[in-house]
Amino acid sequence: MLVITLIAVPVLLVAAYFIQVEIMERRLVAEANAIIGAPRPRPVHVDAPVSGTFGEALTPYLPDIEKASRAYTEDE
């Protein structure tokens, strides 16, 4: 009876350890999936979208850009 107890107790402790580890592993994976898998909508960079192309939106700023480009190329 003593031999059976000396063998059964460590076996049961090891089994309980692995069961506990498996439960904790499943909980960790579920929490990680909840955090990583949560949808994260991208914030918009402007309040309201503007219709048209990028070139059309850039046209009013072209003279200033050209002036800055000339000043940059003339500066040594």
**Hey, is 40 helix, strand or coil?**
coil
Per-residue pLDDT, 65 = 93
Kindly state the average pLDDT of the residues 54-74.
92
Per-residue pLDDT, 76 = 67
- Degrees, nearest 5: CA angle 49-53-58: 95
pTM of the model: 0.40
Q: How far apart are CA 12 and CA 9, in angstroms?
A: 5
Please check the confidence at residue 44 and state whether its pLDDT lies above 80: no
- Residue 46's pLDDT band (cuts 50, 70, 90): low
pLDDT (tens digit, 9 = 90+) per residue, 15-36?
888 899 999 999 999 999 888 8
